[in-house]
Structure formats: C-alpha cells, structure tokens
Amino acid sequence: MKTIIFFLFLALSIPVWADDAETQIHQLEKQLARIQQESESTYQQFLMTQELRRNAIEAPLPIEIPPNPPDQSIPIPDYDELIKEKEEKQDHIKDYTDDLNRLSARHKELENEKQEIIGQINLLKQEPKE
C-alpha cells in the first residue's frame, strides 16, 4: 500500500515539477533577451566610441590663421595655444580609450552571463527527459 501511495505521489509531482521547470525556463529566456539587448546596445556604443576615437586621432589640430592680404606674411600661431589644443586632443583620446575599455569589459560580462543562462536553460530542458 505504501508503494502505491509513493508512486501515486511521484506521478502527481512530475507534472508540477515540469510546470516549475517551464516557468524557470521562461524566466531565464526573458532574462536572456534582456541581456542580449543590453549586450547589443553596449556593442553599438563601443563601435560609436571607437569611431569617435579614430576621428580624434586622425584629426589635425585646428590652427586658426586669419585671412590676410597676399603681400603680408602669415602670422605664426601662439605656441601656448597650440600646446593647449594638443593637450585637449590627448585628453579626449584618453577619455575615449577609457570608455572603450569600460564598454569592452561590460560586453564581456554580459556575454559570460548569457553563456551561464544558456547553460541553465539547457540543463532545465534536459532534466525532464532523464
């Protein structure tokens, strides 16, 4: 009699566990979609920042030379102003580089999270079959 009750209890608990696993899978898939979206957004930001950095590196320093008649000599830009512009350019490039490093690290974190969730989903999908 005890074995019949045990098997009856076991038979009734399997569908409940299956529903629980399906709920967990559904929640994990929602979480995976959210992480995928954030990962894509982070990658887009990375690409834009990378392009801004590339443009900043390739851009020449803006030297403003006022127009003057051809019979006059060309004025020499102020040395301090050139140094200031060069430092500002280097600061922008450094900021872009820091942003790239931060975005790259975040993207790697998100990819690791995605792999963990995919592993959990695969594990939950395999358990009912066993």
Per-residue model confidence (pLDDT) at position 69: 60
User: Domain residues of the chain, as ranges?
Assistant: 32-58+78-130
pLDDT tens figures, 88-113:
999 999 999 999 999 999 999 999 99
Sort 60 into a burial class: Cβ within 10 Å, 0-12 / 13-18 / 19+. Answer: exposed
Per-residue model confidence (pLDDT) at position 129: 54
Per-residue model confidence (pLDDT) at position 81: 87
Taking Cα atoms as reference points, which of 112, 90, 110 lies closest to residue 102?
110
CB 86 within 8 A of CB 61: yes
For the entire predicted model, the pTM comes to 0.69
Residue 49 neighbours by CB distance under 10 Å: 19
Q: How confident is the model at residue 2 (pLDDT cuts 50, 70, 90)?
A: very low
Asked whether the predicted pLDDT for residue 3 surpasses 60, the reply is no
DSSP 8-state assignment for residue 99: H
CB 49 within 8 A of CB 98: no
- As a whole number of Å, the CA-based R_g of the chain is 30
pLDDT tens figures, 25-84:
999 999 999 999 999 999 999 999 999 999 999 988 766 555 566 667 766 778 888 899
Q: Taken in order 123, 124, 126, 130, is the CA torsion positive or negative?
A: positive
